[in-house]
């Protein structure tokens, strides 16, 4: 089980496995060591496999990962959708970077 936090500081590019990753950069909605939620232009099918490119602030290279769509839904009152995805392939060092960012963000939020 992983903790998730709001994560607009992470930028996401994605594509269905076997296709080119799109050029559109989206700000993640939330992230944890196990997965990520981000806006998408259309509903993605449950179970779809995605190639992800995640850009974290102050990191030299983006994180390359694969994820599976767990859910995708229209956002009421908007023209966009969101997808919640579970990481299925991610380098353990990269997962560690995400987890450290989550824990740092949680520490920064705590009142003094």
What integer pLDDT is reported at residue 7 of this predicted model?
84
Q: Give the pLDDT of residue 111.
A: 65
The string over 61-85, giving b where at least 16 C-beta atoms fall within 10 Å of a residue's C-beta and e elsewhere, is eebebebbbeebeeeeeeeeebbbb
Name the pLDDT band for 4 (thresholds 50, 70, 90).
Answer: confident
Partners of 71 in beta bridges: 84
Q: What would the mean pLDDT of 63-77 be, rounded to a whole number?
A: 94
Secondary structure of residue 19 in the 3-state scheme: coil
- What is the distance between the alpha carbons of residues 5 and 8, in angstroms, rounded to a whole number? 9
- The pLDDT of residue 109 is 77
The fold adopted by the segment(s) 4-109 is Thrombin, subunit H (2.40.10)
For residues 74-86, average pLDDT: 91
């Amino acid at each position: 089980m992983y903790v998730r936090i709001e994560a607009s500081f992470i930028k996401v590019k994605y594509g269905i496995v076997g296709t080119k990753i799109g050029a559109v950069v989206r700000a993640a909605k939330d992230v944890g060591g196990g997965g990520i939620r981000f806006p998408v232009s259309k509903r993605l099918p449950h179970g779809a496999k995605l190639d992800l490119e995640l850009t974290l602030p102050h990191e030299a290279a983006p994180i390359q990962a694969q994820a599976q769509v767990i859910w995708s839904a229209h956002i009421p009152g908007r023209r966009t959708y969101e997808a919640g995805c579970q990481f299925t392939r991610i380098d353990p060092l990269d997962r560690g970077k995400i987890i450290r960012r989550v824990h740092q963000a949680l520490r920064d939020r705590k009142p003094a």
